[in-house]
Structure 1
Amino acid sequence: MSFLCWVWVLDGLIPSGRKSNEVVGKLIVDGANGVGGEKLQVYKEDLELNGLVIEVQNTGLEGGVLNEGVGADFVPHMALVHKMTECFDESTISDTKLSDDYPCRIGVQTAYANGASTDFLKQQGLKVVFTPTGVKYLHEKSSKFRTTECCFGTIAISKLINQAVGDALSGMLLVEAILRYMGWSIHRWNELYHDLPSRQLKVKVVDKTSVVTANAETEVVKPLGIQEASNAETANHPKGQCFIRPSETENVIHVYAETSLQDEADRLA
């Protein structure tokens, strides 16, 4: 379904009697100085006619460098919000009974999804399975199930959004539709669970292929000794987990660390 179709049907997705005064306010979108912010401006009036007021910041129309200090990549990697923008991250929202006809029973994640989201999905009664990092792997795994949710920024629902590329604009409206259907404010959604503190780093290397992983990139099998050292250090931190994987596009190694405290996550990484 195209983004324009989402604009037209957004209000129609909400059954009568499901609208709530709790769903109020303005959606502030960080365009990261990319093409999405400019495109969103085109549909702003149509969205407002459907009851969704949007303010787009960092559109790129007045200059600015793509993804410099803004955007989704900046927020999870640095755990910071751009000084001029209120951002939201549509990582995951889940209900074990999305509808009477299609109960949600499977959650598909990468190991780099926050551990708090994994715990939350399990508490809702979902079976969580993991894949290597990348939308193509998430979609391949999720397509094996009738109804599934990929909790790494992409919700794979056939014919609703383009799961092949992530499709952030349509995904944004899908989240808005879910919140309206549930009668939730974004604040109530945010209280479902709280992410554990984490840190992501990149380490430049001469040859990224020297690092080989297994089990959905959760274990390093080459070089020998790295995984054992990581396990020993991770065991010293409450709720700790740490993963290392080679990049698919750059000659770097990605490091992800997560613990109960931010300074410990920084040290672990």
Structure 2
Amino acid sequence: MKNVYFILFFISIYTVNAQNSCDNANSYLVNAYAHAKDSYESNNISHLKYYANRSVEAFQLAKKQLKDCPCSKALEFANKAIEALLKVEQEETFEDGRFFVKRGREFAKQSVIEMDQCAFNNYQETSTQTVETPNNTSTQLSDLQKEQLKLQQQQEALKKQEAEIKSKLAAQKLEAESLKKKQIIASYKKVMSNNVKTYNESLSVCHCQHKAFENTTISEDLSSKSIDEIKHYFTENLKALASDYIAELNQCN
């Protein structure tokens, strides 16, 4: 009888270690899938490649944990996802890169599904072994309830972690877009300032009696507008400035 308990003890240690690796792998796979989704939903090639690389990094971490986790299907799909996502970096167009991101995203999704299936199968095996162990009915029931509670807690923790990851990625996305807006606004302001200077110098050389052009004061908050709206705003201002310049030239004698 002592030998039986001794064997069960080592089996339980192995099971716990394997479960920990599976839990860690599952967490990394969820992260990888979230990054792949964000890559696919990107609207420019820079963000597309950035999140694709983040997804590959998460998959690499998952693979290390999957070595000690009996879930070969999840590993197989993870490798396929990595293979597809690594091709994104070398693509020059947004459409070509997005093609491989889409494939990587689907493989990532399958990897997470297979990981959940493995967790369910392991739970079923543990439950069966617990029921078949003799002379421990009350203890078996208690252990089963604890295992169910543990799985529920793990699922809730993963859902919470996924929500936090999505929130962080959304914040990073907003921050990147805000920075891009500032860069675009600064570039357009510089162009307008250079044009004003050039127009004034040209009219002076032509000895035109004109009122000096001045830099346009931005009266509205452009940070709340989309990038396309910002570009449209400055394009219209540049057109208006150019029209005024042509009009002044036409009046020159």
TM-score normalised to structure 2 length: 0.23
Structure with greater helix percent: 2
Greater fraction of residues in strand: 1
Q: TM-score if structure 1 supplies the norm length?
A: 0.22
